[in-house]
Chain A
Amino acid sequence: MKRIAISLLLLASVAAAPAQARLKVFACEPEWGSLVRELAGDKVDLDVATTALQDVHVVEAKPSLIAKVRAADLVVCTGAGLEVGWLPQLIRQSGNAKVASGAGSFMAGAQVKTLEKPTALDRANGDVHPDGNPHIQMDPRRVLIVARQLDARLIQVDPANADTYRQRGADFEKRWLAAMSRWKAEAAPLKGRKVVVHHTSWVYLWDWLGVQQIGALEPKPAVPPTAAHLAELVGTTKSNDTLAIVHAAYQDSKPSNWLSERTGVPVVSLPFTVGGDAQSSDLFGLFDSTISKLVGAAK
């Protein structure tokens, strides 16, 4: 049934041969998909490669994704090594030169200053990212910088709709700045508080909110923690008036619950990206939910 529908659609699209084809955008992560929607509205066709319940470090170069990259005019990804295990393979397999480099390749991580750039590259420290921590979407300030650059890029690759992008970009910036001051005000009680995390995915959020991270369940990326580390972490968590143990919606909650049982510190599951919980239907909802969950733990 679905197959028939697809082939009918295909036929229809061939027959119709649209004179004005819409820009096709391939977003690696939901947060950039949401940003593209904010800036471009219905002027583009959008494919989002991953969901909030996937670990984007280890996505596979699936055939369906190759087909999507093949069709794309613009690829919007995080970069900074986050998709190193699959995006290069997708681009090479798809044979789409447009998105391999240049104007068709937009890397959000390259637009902002990254944190945690390692001074020494050694896999003994796990799967470290040479370009710094790639999870920049959790800082609304950096999201705004990315939005400005992405808007400029949309105008560049699709000048026919430049006015729309300009107008929507300005509108997004206005709403985003207003939301940012609201979030900052709501998050005031979080300032200076201490948290323990599952994986060090949250440095940008803490940097923005002034929250202090005192430990991680999985301190080395992609390497399971040792028993000694966990024992030490129980002590640290207990003795520091820790606000919460934070993990992302896609991560297994077991380690966090384990630590919570031993310390009495509550577990907070944050959406991490658009679609990570019911409230996070777009970028605004992502931060609404994140802030309210953290503030909820502080009460």
Chain B
Amino acid sequence: MKCYVITSYPLNALSMHKSLLSLVLLSILSAPVLAAPQQRDHDRIAALEAQVQALQAELQAMKSTAPAAVASAPSVVAPGTTTADEIDALAADAPDSAPQTTDAGSMGVAASDAGVSAGSGNSSANAFNPAISLILNGSYSHHSLDPDAYMRASFPLAGEAGPSPDGFSLGESEISLATNVDDKFYGQLTLAVESEDGEDHLGVEEAFIDTTTLPGGFNLRMGRFFSNIGYLNSHHAHTDSFFDRPLPYQAFLGGQYGDDGVQLRWIAPTSVFLEFGGELLRGEPYPSGGAQNGGVGSRTLFAHIGGDAGDNNEWLAGVSMLRTSTANGEDGFSGDADVYIADATWKWAPQGNFKDGGVTLRGEYLLDDRDGIYSDPDDPLNTAPWSGQRHGGYVEGVYRINRRWDVGYRYDGLWGDSDLPLASGFDPYRHTAELTWRNSEFSLFRLQIGRDRPNASDTDNVFTLQYQTSLGAHGAHKF
């Protein structure tokens, strides 16, 4: 069944129209003296119309006799007499008169995440190349605590969790290729280059295809992708406001949960943004492990809702869950693990010009609920039951001062049941502040300072300077 929502805009416009009409009517009724000047206006308009028609007829005649002469010198002829030809000359050479022939090269799906279209009118074979975008970044960090001696109480480091390396580092550079496959599919590949202990690794971060023509607001995604749970998880790190991911993402999702599988998403036909979806995933990376259930070890469900509050405010909120079976996970856990996430984002900017100034507030809460056993990765004979809950959350606020500068603060922390195998009685937390300077939309420098309390006895004061650039196709980012 289709359901149609009448938006308020046309209603308002209509009622305004009506009241305007009645106003006009009233004024006509109450002021008969105005009739005379109005009559004169009518006559004038009629005369003008006749004039225009005459001009057009004249032009038509001119066009049929000497079109070339007129077209070649439109600017030298007196104004008013050339209007029709002048206008015709400005039409695109091949106006889109047969729009059924899919112009994937224009502004449609082709110009996607990664951006620019292949470019209409470019007839070379390269025109079909995918849009390429590159993220280059690098950083310098100074830690007061040796990153090798870093130990996070109760929450062992897994996935990409943990402090950044001391000194200079390339961080993660990314290359992304994306384009329409054909009339029904869109494809994207993102490769990430990482350096670890002096060795470079090239990894497939995302490689997926999307359907583009499913009816009813459905979208099917297949391949490897970042799960759509929570807020930050589906966003590439280069769109974050801070240099590193918040503690709950590090502790419960290994920084960011991406896996192989399928995703089905549905946008409800409502005037408020409502998105529902779910994923079936292989279950290999942390917090999963060992691709259980015949290689369908993880399932997710997510729902997001969002909208406007006037011209100045935007909001987005969601609830999600990840259910996974783990065998010999990175942190020594085997069993069933659930991660529940609640996220909320609120943006305020005058007139909605977010790039020119405004405030973004965001918070996420993660709950990790496990039922299984722990076996020490270094000593497999050392086992203990693991059944209970751990929690994490962060709140961040970023104030965009103008197009060039923003400044932000984040607090993140972790806490959990005290009877879990690794529990230590200390809840790790951090304070982080950042200052960002942008030269353009495509380049930024960020200064970040943090005070990290990973365990009861240590404090890590971190100073990071980062650059990040975006090359190639113009990206279109998610909200």
Contacts and interface: CB of A to CB of B under 8 A. Distances in A.
Given A70-B267, A97-B215, A184-B80, A55 B353 contact: yes
B459 interface: no
A53 B353 CA distance: 8
Interface string A41-54: 01001111011011
A102 B110 CA distance: 12
Interface in B214-237: 214-215, 217-219
A152 B73 CA distance: 29
A141 B217 contact: no
A6 B109 CA distance: 31
Nearest to B441: A222
**Contact size class for A?**
35 or more
Contacts of A18: 4
Contacts of B274: 67
Contact of A62 (B109, B217, B442, B479): B479
Interface in B245-295: 265-275
B476 A85 contact: yes
A81 interface: yes
A294 to B, nearest CB: 16
Nearest to B355: A58
Contact of A88 (B113, B213, B218, B479): B113
A95 B267 contact: yes
Interface in A67-112: 67-68, 70-71, 77, 79, 81, 83-89, 91-97, 100-103, 105-107, 110-112
Contacts of B110: 88, 101
A127 B5 contact: no
B95 A149 contact: yes
Given A67-B272, A111-B92, A60 B314 contact: yes
Contacts of A86: 476
B351 A54 contact: yes
B3 A88 contact: no
Interface residues of B, number: 97
A42 B4 contact: no
Contacts of A94: 217, 267
Contacts of A54: 351-353
B474 to A, nearest CB: 5
A70 B441 contact: no
A9 B80 CA distance: 50
Nearest to B75: A210
Given A67-B271, A101-B109, A178 B52 contact: yes
Nearest to A95: B219
A145 B87 contact: yes
Given A13-B4, A46-B9, A84 B307 contact: no
B100 interface: yes
Interface in A17-52: 17-18, 21, 37, 42, 45-48, 50-51
B127 to A, nearest CB: 12
A48 B9 CA distance: 9
Contact of A93 (B90, B106, B352, B478): B478
A47 B7 contact: yes
A264 interface: no
A298 interface: no
A225 interface: no
B369 interface: no
B119 A130 contact: yes
B351 A64 contact: no
Nearest to B306: A63
A156 B106 contact: no
B314 A224 contact: no
Given A70-B267, A95-B265, A79 B474 contact: no
A126 B115 CA distance: 16
Given A97-B212, A112-B91, A10 B270 contact: yes
A215 B102 CA distance: 40
B64 interface: no
Give the top 8 A-B pairs by smallest Cβ distance, nearest first: A63-B306, A63-B273, A101-B108, A89-B476, A97-B213, A53-B351, A95-B219, A67-B273
Interface of A: 6, 9-10, 13-14, 17-18, 21, 37, 42, 45-48, 50-51, 53-55, 58-64, 66-68, 70-71, 77, 79, 81, 83-89, 91-97, 100-103, 105-107, 110-113, 123, 126-127, 130-131, 139, 141-142, 144-145, 149, 152-153, 156, 174, 177-178, 180-181, 184-185, 188, 210, 222-224, 250, 252
Interface of B: 1-7, 9-10, 13-14, 45, 48-49, 52, 56, 75, 79-80, 83, 86-87, 89-93, 95-97, 99-104, 106-113, 115-116, 119-120, 186, 210, 212-215, 217-219, 265-275, 304-308, 311, 314-316, 347, 351-356, 403-404, 439-442, 471, 474-479
Given A107-B107, A139-B90, A144-B87, 20 more contacts: A14-B1, A42-B10, A46-B10, A47-B9, A51-B351, A60-B352, A67-B271, A83-B107, A85-B476, A87-B107, A88-B110, A92-B186, A111-B91, A111-B95, A127-B441, A145-B95, A153-B99, A156-B99, A181-B79, A185-B80
7 contacts: A47-B9, A81-B474, A89-B112, A101-B103, A101-B106, A127-B441, A177-B83
